Structure 1
């Protein structure tokens, strides 16, 4: 009977048990058995990240009965399909999957994910720049990017937060208040022409402002002008705030004289403040300066277990992905490779006090004969994964729970 057999030295499952889990075995066999892990305690997976074997035309790992006998792309997607379906079945309704991929299969993987998750659950296709110089091999362009395909388990329920505190810059808030706080001016007028007095009647009302002092109120006062929201062409518009909110927060509003296409006019602006918890939406291009590079990733692996992995992902990339979910998320990587996801979860927990549960699955695939990994004594790629996870966990005085698939 197939099972995930725990190592004898595993920490006991429970609140104080291991939050880093390693499973050795083919993910097609392992995925259906993951709900039995005591560390999960009946929880579903919130976040899945995979970096599957890229199909470069030179053959690929996991070329099993799911992928034989057909064309190159069909074989690759045939291999991946049942694994994605199994992972989807483990995910919580609010969960999401991030998949790294390059140009060779990005189109085919997107179509496959459309089928497995549903086209309506597509979230984003992110360009990730992991190689500043670009790959110089080949006759044409020096490729220096890959992709992240992001899909929700259910877009209506998706808990992914596409914002980050790290995206916020002081340069975006050029104004400085007398008390030292930074802010920027945003038009209080709704700039969407679909929002107008016909469609949003309650938001069409006058405010009163003095462009000399900047004071704004919902009632007339000495020196104030009556100001109605208008578009740049003079057409009637509406405010973004209700009259009740404007009455509650007059100090966050300012009256200014501006020059528009029809000449000078007086308008109302919101003071949009910079604060420590301010967040900004992530963009769909991630640079090596933001998330690390292949070079930094190699150095991270080398620092823990030696230079034994050719193209790992940097922990910065995974930490940005982890940041899109709460700090107690259940995270699954069923192509764990060098163990970047589990390592990144430990780093993220240390930074924000989180309690993420990371599950890393890797097959006991042999390392290449004559490779640095083999020379370092690693007979199987899964040994590298486990060694890195244990070394990273030991840095924080944490334990690793390991399991082996037994068929």
Structure 2
């Protein structure tokens, strides 16, 4: 960590921890009090789950079907409980691997509604690929993202990190970078029939470059057309053209039918509010970190005491799609990656995010690194990491009484 002074503990600590089965803890949280959930639930590897399965009926003769049904039965009530504490504008992000992604997708359609699906993100956490077992060397997992209520969802699935300066090859005399975009809407779904108010004549002068809604000396009227000559529409309305005439330019270009005059927008690299670009649905390890970097992050704080933690960069990418004062929940907190990521994000941008982490007091495996380090339960691992984060990054840590 950098040798910067640790900021004072805020009035509301950045991290709070609850030990206990999340099915017992979640009902104690205020309904609608959480803005975003990120969680990495136990994957279905064929072993028993640490979390109590109170709903399995045991009627499946097929061991694979029974195993999937048991995992789904464990997850369903917990996702329902998550939905209750999630605000209307909130969203939930769940990490999962190939074993249960299909079943989890159907389960989340059931709990959150298919209409609230946001994305199925492919996350490359192991670029070398897993060499054990049969078949292919799997190098990815998934994150399933759902809104609580899509029309109100606060997620802005874009980021400044996705912007490539090479996409803006032109410069003004004062050094500002930009690119030309056709003012004509190139999507043929938008045309004079579907958007009649955006089909009108603008006046442009290809010599001076000036564009206006009204005729001026040296100008010529220009209406938008597709490349095949059919009528099109502009992307801007008349009032917007009047507000931003300096961002438009009339130019002579060479098309398939020879030279023609058209109107272009000067699209600036640096603009008010910061340029953002939509996130793609494949997230690479060099962008967000890998399992190896996640192990190194944890080892630097409390040692190698947890198998396959998630990198903080994964959670920070999710946090970057939301305001900097959100309440974050991780009901399967594991090693405490989510709380660590929240603290790092707050330290970086001055945000006031808060994270509620829940983890069971399941005993650590006999002879494991965690047990040898004196961490008797998985909850102890979470607390150890969050305490180290509070000491090194700041933000404090509140530990609630054990539930259950």
Q: TM-score, normalised by structure 1?
A: 0.91
Match of 1:186 in 2: 181
In 2, distance between residues paired with 1:271 and 1:203? 19
Give the alignment's Cα RMSD to 1 decimal.
Answer: 1.7
Tell me the matched-pair count.
388
In 2, distance between residues paired with 1:66 and 1:179? 67
Find out whether 1:320 has 2:317 as its counterpart.
yes
Match of 1:141 in 2: 136
Shift of 1:226: 2.3
Match of 1:387 in 2: 384
Match of 2:50 in 1: 61
CA contact (8 A) 2:129 2:137 kept: yes
Q: Secondary structure at the match of 2:190?
A: coil
In 1, distance between residues paired with 2:80 and 2:134? 37
Q: Secondary structure at the match of 1:299?
A: helix
Q: Secondary structure at the match of 2:150?
A: coil
Match of 2:127 in 1: 132
Find out whether 1:280 has 2:269 as its counterpart.
no
Instruction: Give per-residue Cα distances to partners, 1:150-179, cap 9 Å, x unaligned.
Output: 011111211111111111121121111112
Q: Structure 2: 5+ residue runs without aligned partners?
A: 1-8, 61-65
Q: 1:78 aligns with which of 59, 73, 79?
A: 73
Structure 1 stretches of at least 4 aligned residues deviating more than 4 Å after TM superposition: none
Decide which moves more: 286-295 or 207-216.
207-216
CA contact (8 A) 2:18 2:403 kept: no
In 2, distance between residues paired with 1:185 and 1:63? 58
Find out whether 1:51 has 2:46 as its counterpart.
no
Cα distance change on mapping 1:399 and 1:198 into 2, 3 Å: closer
Match of 1:8 in 2: none
Q: 1:104 aligns with which of 93, 99, 104?
A: 99
1:196-345 equivalences under 5 Å are: 196-275=191-270, 277-345=274-342
Instruction: Give per-residue Cα distances to partners, 1:315-351, cap 9 Å, x unaligned.
Output: 0000011112111111000000000000100000011
In 2, distance between residues paired with 1:352 and 1:406? 34
Instruction: Give per-residue Cα distances to partners, 1:278-329, cap 9 Å, x unaligned.
Output: 1111111110111110011000000100111110000000001111211111
Q: Secondary structure at the match of 2:376?
A: coil
CA contact (8 A) 1:233 1:262 kept: no
Q: Structure 1: 5+ residue runs without aligned partners?
A: 1-13, 36-41
Q: Secondary structure at the match of 1:156?
A: helix
Q: TM-score, normalised by structure 2?
A: 0.92
CA contact (8 A) 1:163 1:324 kept: yes
Decide which moves more: 169-178 or 147-156.
169-178
In 2, distance between residues paired with 1:391 and 1:62? 26
Shift of 1:15: 6.7
Decide which moves more: 273-282 or 378-387.
273-282
In 2, distance between residues paired with 1:200 and 1:85? 42
In 2, distance between residues paired with 1:16 and 1:257? 60
Cα distance change on mapping 1:313 and 1:269 into 2, 3 Å: same
Q: Secondary structure at the match of 1:404?
A: coil
Q: Secondary structure at the match of 1:191?
A: coil
Decide which moves more: 165-174 or 94-103.
165-174
CA contact (8 A) 2:76 2:107 kept: yes
